[in-house]
Chain A
């Protein structure tokens, strides 16, 4: 310690020793701010790094700006497309959806076959992860996407059977690859990836074109724009060029499925990574402020003594500012370090989750600066408010014992209920009432800790509800089958006669482009039956919506995107058959759970299409004992484009949510626990410091240890019990403020906080209180009575 003196002033030595003396408490306070800062840094650095990774990935693999598919066009068109002003280059290819037969999987799977030029596959936006590129001389060689490979355990050397143009072909997997175009891959018409049952298969162009009779032609095109290009103009020009070849209309990157899904995931992560950590940081800062101000307040007499020997107010203030800065910077430092380390880990985890081939981690300086600034400001205010109180008091007065507190009879006694309570209990009530301000702040602190536990963990309740509404209330089928192209009504009968099928509801999906106020969106209008049994429209409140007999029904998300209100007339172009234009009135906008959807009542849709009841697919309820039989029948039915098993979709949603929402939740809960414990423990310790003299006096005059413990712990217990319902209320309010932040175009997450979550918050707070109480109790047992006798009281 002597050597310390060479570098530090006496006040600084006081600082170091006192911090050391209260090290466990200082660590607990530092822990609170560290948790707030760590979560903030963790989430924002992860989010930042993922966007950076995606950007790098897109850039290095030349992720296209515009996508178009068509029926068939001659290769010569490529020159014309490249000549469009603003186009950097175009890449034509052959693409088709096929049914796959995967060993060990009873139900049929589906694959998207995408051609690669045999000569230069590496220039086509593919990142080879494992194995090798295609050999131009072997026509059955393919690459598959990473997620599909992982879900099915494929390695280079594995094989998969595909039905291409009616012929079964065994495809040899020679490599596993990723592409920014297929970060997520979903079957047409589906909202969630199902990596086990659907994959991307890259195949040599000559080989694929040959089997599809596409030699000399293409049915898919990717466009990369020049930096300053006008995207809308290019799309318009492209549509004009491709229209004669059965094009569906070019779409910008924003509507490309994988990008759209990824964008939504990242947006959700971003909002979750901002809203909740901000709340955590704010609460941690508030608690830091409260705790430090109380610790400084306990030092009132020392402040007075230092002032009496001639230190200026500013010097004293500076001393305590350093005192609290030391704690908050320790916490902030630990927080930034942990946040960065965990952020790196979390980014790595998401990199795998999103299938990015590499990881770019960057700790943004402004995030660190913001977090530390909040910690510093909170510490400054906490210290200064108390120091100001202490220094404005004339030292002579500050050194006198505080005037005996003005106690009054507590409310309980005023109500004449004192005979029900013992003397110590009455002391508890009087203490609480007299220090009302302080009691309320403690109460609020504990409640805030509990609220963080709730807001940090409720997300899974909401996801559970969403899953339940989607898969139990809305979708009551077992299997959804989609057909290659619309079939006649007899298809319904065919489904009904398949093995194990108990109930059939056919549906129609019409691909359209909806236009409103210069905005447009391509999607499918799905038919809805009145009083449907197998697939019902359900809103976020769980209400079943019945379709009206006219007009269009839109998801609120879609209506928002296109700025449509109920009653608006919109322009609609059908993208199949005669491609007619219609004006349709929007009659219902519903707050549904998933996707950006458009629906029409079935008869109305058929009328619009001027068709008798055509069928695009069907919802089936199936006898569970006969599913295998049904699947093998479906595998043999050439018209079937895809089979979606509801159970698998549910698993996929669960997996997606566990990986995104669930991971964030884990961290939230972890840090909420640290904060809640830190708050409760500090509250108890400071109460002990504020009270030790009084309690020791009680001991001196004959109170037993158990009695004084009862007075102190009783006060803490009452505060905790009152804080719990408050924490539930605050938790709910914060949850409702953040739940909308989790909504995306893909999912709408309804607000629900389950009793389980409330109980988790309450029980955790009670455990934290009990543990803190036990620690404080041990200290009470060693209360130095002699010291109390020697000092004034």
Chain B
């Protein structure tokens, strides 16, 4: 993976390397979600540039942006955003149907420990389970980048850890670049790099020499 160069928000720049695990910390309104949405091709900045593998994504048209989202990026949202009328497996199929070389829905769900419950509808799953289905949905296309916006924000500690473990596994086993937004500073310990944002700027950068397993952190 090439360099992802971002000038975002208020004159900040950021490089993300392939396979890296990165946590963005910050309070509400610090701009971290905006940054993530721009990287994910969900939003466009008013000024500035964002490159993905040398291609300037801030210049491409809607069609290419859709292609980018379809093949390169996976999303995990705070509120899971599963389609309520589809089962866990079908929510994953939603992505595998339009991808070139996807994991099978069963494989993706196994990876996050949800294989047993794959024929359940979202309403029959707990929050943590729904989030793991959302992760399975995001990784089934074998994305280069997995973007997670407060993936544990709506979950209790135990469930949150299960979700983080699923993300950790994806990053380590599939080599997917991981970008996690959270306001929970403890989660930073599981990443290679921790960025803290405030007021639209990156106020602090920290490299962890050792990444903790999600189980090992406490919040």
Contact = CB atoms under 8 A, between A and B. Distances in A.
Interface in B2-23: none
B94 A10 contact: yes
B49 interface: no
A11 B42 contact: no
Interface stretch (A153-161, A254-262, A310-318, A513-521): A310-318
Contact of A310 (B77, B87, B141, B154): B141
Contacts of B110: none
Contacts of B98: 310-311, 315
A396 B83 CA distance: 16
Contacts of B86: 10, 13-14, 17
B37 A396 contact: yes
A14 B85 contact: yes
Contacts of A9: 97
Nearest to A308: B75
Contacts of A18: 85
Interface in B49-83: 62-63, 66-67, 69-71, 73, 75, 77-79, 81-83
B77 A10 contact: no
Nearest to B92: A10
Interface in A286-315: 301-302, 304-313, 315
A278 interface: no
Nearest to A15: B85
Contacts of A307: 66, 69
A397 B43 contact: yes
A14 B87 CA distance: 9
A310 B71 contact: yes
A302 B91 CA distance: 12
A396 B43 contact: yes
Contacts of B71: 310
Interface in B27-42: 33, 37, 40, 42
A312 B79 CA distance: 22
Interface in A180-214: none
Contacts of A790: 127, 154
A394 interface: yes
Contact of A394 (B37, B78, B97): B37
Contacts of B37: 394, 396
B95 A309 contact: yes
B144 interface: no
B168 interface: no
The binding surface of chain A is classed by DSSP as helix
Interface string A131-151: 000000000000000000000
B47 to A, nearest CB: 16
Given A309-B137, A310-B95, A396-B37, A302 B83 contact: yes
Contacts of A791: 79
B44 interface: yes
Nearest to A301: B81
A396 B31 CA distance: 13
B93 interface: yes
A306 B137 CA distance: 11
Contacts of A343: none
A395 B90 contact: no
B85 A10 contact: no
B85 A17 contact: yes
A792 B66 contact: no
A308 B98 CA distance: 13
Contact of B66 (A305, A311, A394): A311
A311 B127 CA distance: 25
B43 A310 contact: no
Interface string A359-403: 000000000000000000000000000000000001111010000
A17 B87 CA distance: 11
A305 B77 CA distance: 9
Interface in A14-59: 14, 17-18, 21
Contacts of B95: 309-310
Give the one of B33, B94, B99 with max A CB within 10 A.
Answer: B94
A100 B93 CA distance: 86
B73 to A, nearest CB: 8
Contact of B75 (A1, A309, A311, A313): A309
Nearest to B96: A10
Given A301-B81, A306-B83, A395 B70 contact: no
Contacts of A308: 40, 42, 69, 75, 77, 81
A310 B33 CA distance: 19
A312 B98 CA distance: 10
A13 B90 contact: yes
Contacts of B70: 309-312
| Residue among B63, B78, B79, B127 with max Cβ neighbours from chain A (10 Å) | B79
Contact of B97 (A10, A301, A302): A10
Contact of B42 (A1, A301, A302, A394): A394
A310 B81 contact: no
B90 A310 contact: no
- Which among A10, A394, A791 has the greatest number of chain B C-beta atoms within 10 A? A10
A322 to B, nearest CB: 14
Interface string A764-793: 000000000000000000000000001110
Could you say which of B62, B70, B78, B85 has the most chain A C-beta atoms within 10 Å of its C-beta?
B85
Nearest to A391: B62
A309 B43 contact: no
Contacts of A395: 42
B43 A11 contact: no
A21 B79 contact: no
23 contacts: A5-B93, A9-B97, A10-B94, A14-B86, A14-B90, A17-B86, A301-B81, A304-B81, A306-B94, A308-B42, A308-B81, A309-B138, A310-B66, A310-B70, A310-B71, A310-B73, A311-B66, A312-B70, A313-B62, A396-B33, A399-B77, A790-B154, A792-B78
Given A307-B69, A310-B69, A396-B40, 6 more contacts: A18-B85, A310-B70, A311-B98, A312-B63, A313-B66, A395-B42
Interface of A: 1, 5, 9-11, 13-14, 17-18, 21, 301-302, 304-313, 315, 394-397, 399, 790-792
Interface of B: 33, 37, 40, 42-44, 62-63, 66-67, 69-71, 73, 75, 77-79, 81-83, 85-87, 90, 93-95, 97-99, 127, 137-138, 141, 154
By Cβ-Cβ distance, the 4 closest A-B pairs, closest first, are A310-B70, A396-B37, A305-B81, A396-B42
